A and B are shown apart, each in its own frame.
Chain A
Amino acid sequence: MGNLTADSIYRFLSGPALWFTMTVFLGGLALRMGYLYWLSRRKDPVIYNHASFSWGLKSILFWLIPWATVSMRSQPVFSGAAFLFHICLLSVPLFLSAHNILWEEAFGVSLWSMPDAWADALTLVFLATAVFVLVRRVVRPEVRILTSAWDYTLIALTTLPFLTGILAYHQMGPYELMLPLHIALSEILLIVIPFSKLGHMLLFFFSRAFIGFELGARRGARSW
């Protein structure tokens, strides 16, 4: 009987709840981007007046290469950790073989899968960098003073899917609990992204392009 309940929870989470999540995640991002585009056309002519493809691109690319900017070089350990954090954050969920098997079953398409040993290693690296980011937030006064409870919550929301994921995979702790918890927490994270500072997964590119126009195309100055 207990198994039946666990099974139906799993089916709910990986069925309707997942559809709902993806709708909110993609729809929310689209709405936020659409709204900001509409607003920018009305109120931010300065974005379009001085747009420059090359300055916008440089402004983005320099910040996608580790230690390519003066700012990153000024705090090399943190920026290295931040890079690892983001690389693991994106690569593990996308290239995990267990996820790809599910997509293959559901849609008949999947991405390249990384060996499970890599996924384990990257997850551990991710958790380590998350701890580092958290500790830095507490230890450095200029970061601590900026941090609110919501910032800590977001770190937790970002980290827990990985923690529960690796525990579920290795069947540590109660698997029947760990797997649905992993799915539910991941869904919560995806739902939160469009409506929080995590929206920077897309907005990063736009705000970087703008400062490239503003400092570079107008003034000839580097923004990296």
Chain B
Amino acid sequence: MLDPRKILDKEFGKTDLPIDTPKARQILVAHGGARIRTWMSICSRCGLCAESCFVYLSNDRDPRLSPAYKVRHSLGEMYRRKGKFDRAFLEKAYEICWLQCTMCKRCSIYCPFGIDIASMIMAARNVCYSQGVRAGRLAEFTENCRQSGNHMNLPPEELIATCEWVAEEVQEEFSGVGIPIDQPNVKYMYTINPREVVFFPQDITDAAVLLTAARESWTMPSFGWDCTNLPMLAGDREMGGRQVQNLYEKARDLGAEYILITECGHANRSLVYEGPYMAGYPDGKPPVKIKHFVQLIYEYLRDGRIRIDPQKKLTVPVTYQDPCNISRNGGLWEVARQAIAYLAEDFRDMSPNRDYNHCCGGGSGILPMGPDYKPFRLANGRVKAEQIKATGAQIVIAPCHNCYDQIHDLSEEYDLGVKVMSFKEIIREAMIVPEHMRIAENPDG
């Protein structure tokens, strides 16, 4: 287990702000329903959860990294002390909640009582956040969301300009690709991660190409387009709720039938499962239908709306990273594999896979927390690196930005020699360009 002292000092320095016990207690009381009381009181300390946890397995089975231990020494201790704790305790809780747990929910499958450790770690994150114990980057992203509705604080003009620019650029390759903005009454309101605008506009282009190829009715919104929810991961429940509400409301205003999510994992968890509760919907269901890009791609391939050129199918060995937040926490593992069957000839599954998959180690905020935390997530990713290596794959398909970046880094760190790709990238290259997108003067089109 790596020592986080340096980072903790850098993040929290010598701050000796007083603990706001009433506030901490208020959060603990709000979370303290029958579920948490039951879980806390019946955990029989059998230790079965340990073997399920990739952080435990990746760090030489350090007994302090079993899920039961982690929850006991974070949220459990918060309840025992009834909100009366000091900074040193909170820093320890921070280390557990952000450096040692990605809330992947795998341990709940392995616990005989089905205890939901991830929900309890989330509650502990809320308490830490309320006391100013926050990852600097995540706190900054949360502020950005408060100001502009997206975590990189991009003004709408920048999004629109980027969309225009990428649409223009792609004209050289395909005709008829445009990125509609704020078009009312469409089927899909397409939402993305701000990092696509700033660092990876090709992701937007790829989506536009695929949606155009399928003759889809879609638009991007000028506001409420950031489907990520870093405030949720930072532990700011209120702002997390506002972040999803922005999207729900915009979709309703535009009359869009669905909110379509880019290949991002936690956006799905946020918009479909946690968001409705954070935003205060009593029935716990999102007010607008949500669809993840993996589901859409599967439907396009199944229905022949996008066709793959058999000559361009991937021939090298390919594996699939089940992102926790769309497989175990999203139920899309089968459609993803069915989509891959159209795209790759030599598919090799990791073991374990599907709802039993291991987290890549980059989830739930640690990746956007920045380079200081990289050694931790690389250490935690050892199990994932070994899983990938065992498949012998050369390409890893990862429909989640965090998995994508993390596996890219793991490939360097553990010398895996794999290329990480999104579904969009692969399909854009492999699809048969439909008639309406071919450029006339290019006979090879």
> Shortest CB–CB separation between residue A215 and chain B, in angstroms?
6
Q: How many residue pairs, one in A and one in B, have C-beta atoms under 8 Å apart?
A: 145
B39 CB, min distance to chain A CBs, angstroms: 7
Among candidates A63, A137, A222, residue contacting B112 with C-beta atoms closer than 8 Å: A63
Nearest CB of chain A from residue B119's CB, rounded to whole Å? 8
Distance to closest chain A CB from B407 (angstroms): 22
B48: which A residues are within 8 A, CB to CB?
71, 74-75, 78
What chain A residues lie within 8 Å of B282 (beta carbons)? 45
The answer to whether B109 and A223 touch across the interface, beta carbons within 8 angstroms, is yes
- Interface membership of A25, Cβ < 8 A: no
Cβ–Cβ < 8 Å partners of B47 in chain A: 140, 142-143, 146
Q: Which of A69-128 contact B (CB under 8 A)?
A: 69-71, 74-75, 78, 82
**A43 and B328 within 8 A (CB):** no
B32: Cβ under 8 A from any A Cβ = yes
* Residue from B32, B39, B284 within 8 A of A45 (CB atoms): B284
Name the contact of A199 in the complex, choosing from B41, B45, B284, B331 (C-beta under 8 A). Answer: B41
Q: Answer yes or no: B384 CB below 8 A from chain A CBs.
A: no
Task: Contact check, A40 vs B34: say whether CB atoms are below 8 A apart.
Answer: yes
- Give Cα distance in the complex from A45 to B114, angstroms: 18
Interface locus among A16-24, A171-179, A184-192, A201-209: A201-209
CB within 8 Å of A: which B98-136 residues: 105, 108-116
A168 within 8 A of B: no
Closest A residue, CB atoms, query B107? A71
CB closest residue in chain A, given B40 = A197
CB–CB B66/A146 < 8 A: yes
Q: CB-CB < 8 A to B116: which residues of A?
A: 210-211, 214
Cβ-neighbour of B63 out of A36, A141, A148, A196 (below 8 A): A141
A-B contact pairs, 15 of them (CB 8 A): A40-B35, A43-B34, A45-B284, A74-B48, A75-B48, A143-B45, A143-B47, A207-B38, A210-B116, A214-B108, A214-B116, A215-B355, A219-B273, A219-B329, A221-B328
B contact residues around A224 at 8 Å (CB)? 109
Say yes or no for A151: interface residue by CB 8 A criterion: yes
B377 to chain A, nearest CB (A): 22
Which residues from A are CB-within-8-Å of B33?
39-40, 42-44
Q: A74 contacts which chain B residues (CB < 8 A)?
A: 48, 51-52, 110
State the Cβ distance, A85 to closest chain B Cβ, in Å: 11
Question: Measured between alpha carbons, how far is A221 from B329 in the docked complex, in Å?
Answer: 7
A212 CB-CB contact with B under 8 Å: yes
* Pick from B42, B51, B52, B61: contact of A207, CB under 8 Å: B42
Q: Which residues of B contact A36 (CB under 8 A)?
A: 34, 37-38
A49 touches B109 (CB 8 A): no
Known contacts A71-B52, A75-B48, A215-B109; A50 and B284 CB within 8 A of each other:
yes
Q: How many residues of B contact A (CB 8 A)?
A: 51
Q: CA of A95 to CA of B155 in the docked complex: distance in angstroms?
A: 74
State the CA gap A196–B44 with chains docked (Å): 10
Interface string of B269-282 (1 = CB under 8 A from A): 00001000100001
| Residue in chain A with minimal CB distance to B269 | A219
A147 at the interface (CB under 8 A from B): yes
Q: A142-B66, A199-B42 are in contact. List 11 more A-B contacts (CB 8 A).
A: A46-B284, A143-B45, A143-B47, A145-B63, A145-B69, A147-B45, A199-B41, A204-B112, A211-B114, A215-B105, A223-B108
Q: Of A151, A199, A207, which is within 8 A of B115 by CB?
A: A207
In the assembled complex, the Cα of A207 lies from the Cα of B112 at a distance in Å of 9
Q: Give the nearest-CB partner of A143 in chain B.
A: B47
The chain B residue sitting closest to A43, CB to CB, is B33
Closest chain-B Cβ to A151's Cβ sits at a distance in Å of 6
Q: Which among B38, B114, B283 has the greatest number of chain A C-beta atoms within 10 A?
A: B114
Q: In the complex, are the beta carbons of B41 and A59 less than 8 A apart?
A: no
- B94: interface (CB < 8 Å): no
- C-alpha gap A197/B108 in the complex (Å): 18
Bound: A208/B38 CA distance, A: 11
A15 at the interface (CB under 8 A from B): no
Nearest Cβ distance between residue A30 and chain B, in whole angstroms? 15
User: A220 in the interface, Cβ–Cβ < 8 Å?
Assistant: yes
Q: Which residues of A contact B327 (CB under 8 A)?
A: 221
Q: Which residues from chain B contact A39 at a C-beta distance below 8 Å?
A: 33-34, 37
Report chain B residues within 8 Å CB of A11: none
Instruction: Pick the 3 closest A-B CB pairs, nearest first.
Output: A211-B114, A43-B33, A220-B331
- Give complex CA distance A10, B45 in Å: 36
Taken together as a complex, chains A and B put the C-alpha atoms of A137 and B331 apart, in Å, by 36
- Is B114 touching A221 in the complex (CB atoms < 8 A)? no
Tell yes or no: B80 within 8 A of A by CB.
Answer: no
CA distance A180 to B356 in the complex (A): 50
In angstroms, Cα B112 to Cα A52, docked, is: 19
A89 to B: closest C-beta gap in Å: 13
Q: CA of A47 to CA of B116 in the docked complex: distance in angstroms?
A: 12
A38 to chain B: closest CB distance in Å? 8
